[in-house]
């Protein structure tokens, strides 16, 4: 699986967790709001010009998401992120590892 497909799969899983937990949908189904958000993320991930070089959207200098959608995605990630340890622990630990590496590299360049 390539990086773009993996990122899309992760976003889909996070949106499903969020929708099921907060919008009380059945497992595997999404409400109209979350369906729209998922479609939006698919479009943005498909068009990302930095996919091969970036780590995560949060660290990217180009903001592909509109401010409103960015806030929606942040809410999804805040809710779903900790819960991903139960559904995808290896992917979650990998994400944590890459986040720490990125922050360490960033702190070295601030001096």
For the segment 70-93, the average pLDDT, to the nearest whole number, is 92
CA distance 20 to 1: 26
Q: Domain segments of the chain: what residues?
A: 3-106
Is the model's pLDDT at 111 over the cut of 90? no
Q: What is the pLDDT of residues 36-46, one digit of tens each?
A: 999 999 999 99
Predicted local confidence at residue 110, as pLDDT: 44
Report the SS3 class of residue 24. Answer: coil
C-alpha to C-alpha distance for 41 and 65, rounded to whole angstroms = 8
Q: What dihedral angle (degrees, nearest 10) is formed by the CA atoms of 23, 68, 48, 45?
A: 10
- Cα–Cα distance between 13 and 82 in angstroms, integer? 13
Q: Which residues contact 79 (CB under 8 A, 6 or more apart)?
A: 17, 18, 21, 22
**What confidence score (pLDDT) does residue 107 get?**
56
């Amino acid at each position: 699986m390539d990086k773009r497909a993996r990122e899309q799969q992760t976003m889909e899983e996070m949106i499903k967790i969020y929708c099921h937990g907060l919008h009380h949908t059945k497992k595997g189904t999404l409400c109209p709001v979350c369906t729209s958000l998922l479609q939006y993320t698919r479009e943005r991930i498909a068009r990302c010009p930095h996919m091969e070089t970036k780590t995560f959207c949060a660290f990217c200098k180009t903001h592909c998401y509109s401010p409103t959608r960015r806030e929606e995605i942040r809410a999804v990630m805040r809710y779903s992120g900790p819960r991903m340890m139960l559904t995808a622990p290896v992917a979650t630990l990998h994400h944590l590892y890459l986040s720490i590496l990125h922050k360490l590299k960033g702190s070295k360049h601030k001096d």
